[in-house]
Amino acid sequence: MNYPNGKKPSQQLKKVGSSRTSFSNRGMTLEEDINETNLFYLHSNKAIIHKKPTPVQIVKVDYPKRSAAVIKEGYFKQASTTDYNGIYRERYIDFEAKETKNKTSFPLANIHEHQISHMLSICNHGGICFMIIRFAVHDETFFVPAVKLFPYWESQYNGGKKSIPYNKIKEAGELIPFKYQARVDYLTIIDQLYF
């Protein structure tokens, strides 16, 4: 897999640090912000949304006496679904979150084919499915409904671009408000778009 900036996805989620001009995010990664938001939703009983654990292929495990089992050899597996799912207002919620340092576009190499298939199925089964895309340099986080992504995904195989321009994301998506307790308050967007 060829990542746009030569980095692995996990590295792309790392904090941007001093390049940030706004203090609103205090250098937290998108993943950290979403996890905090989900915890706030959970504790305030608004929604039950969890990040799925990173899938690991476990090859070798040691069982030392009187202490916990230790994984001695394991490998990262590619996730076959999106990272987050759960329930909100009786509806099934499913999404993926990606952060990019790119200023002008979101590279489609950030998404995998099977994630797109999964999102398409979720839409067909009546779930609420979307992506949260952060442009770190602009310090903007967008809620992009999955149905708005599919045409861009398809067009790359028909001579189209390998990325979605920033201004198209701005058009297709909704800017997610930053709040103190819900740092990426995506439920407010779900309220607007789906209820």
CB of residue 22 to a copy of itself, shortest distance in Å: 31
* Contacts of a copy of itself in 34-63 (CB under 8 A): 42, 45, 47-48, 50, 52-56, 58
Residues in the chain: 195
Q: Is 122 in the site for a copy of itself (CB under 8 A)?
A: yes
Number of residues interacting with a copy of itself: please give it, by CB under 8 A.
40
CA dist., res. 61 & res. 69, Å (int): 7
Question: In Å, how far are 50, 65, 69, 115, 159 from 118, measured between CA atoms?
Answer: 17, 42, 33, 5, 24
Question: In Å, how far are 6, 10, 92, 96, 144 from 163, measured between CA atoms?
Answer: 15, 19, 28, 17, 14
104 is annotated as contributing to ligand binding: no
CA dist., res. 125 & res. 2, Å (int): 31
Query: Is 25 or 82 the residue whose CB approaches a copy of itself more closely?
Result: 82
* Contacts of a copy of itself in 76-105 (CB under 8 A): 76-77, 79-81, 85-92, 94
Mark residues 138-177: x for contact with a copy of itself by CB under 8 A, - for none.
----------------------------------------
Q: What is the DSSP string of 50-91?
A: EEPPPPEEEEEEE--TTS--EEEEEEEPPPSS-SEEEEETTE
192 is annotated as contributing to ligand binding: no
Query: Is 62 or 154 the residue whose CB approaches a copy of itself more closely?
Result: 62
156 is annotated as contributing to ligand binding: no
Region from 19-27, 64-72, 142-150, 155-163 binding a copy of itself, contact rule CB under 8 A: 64-72
Q: Which of 146, 132, 137 is nearest to 175 (CA)?
A: 132
Q: Which of 22, 24, 70, 194 binds a copy of itself (CB under 8 A)?
A: 70
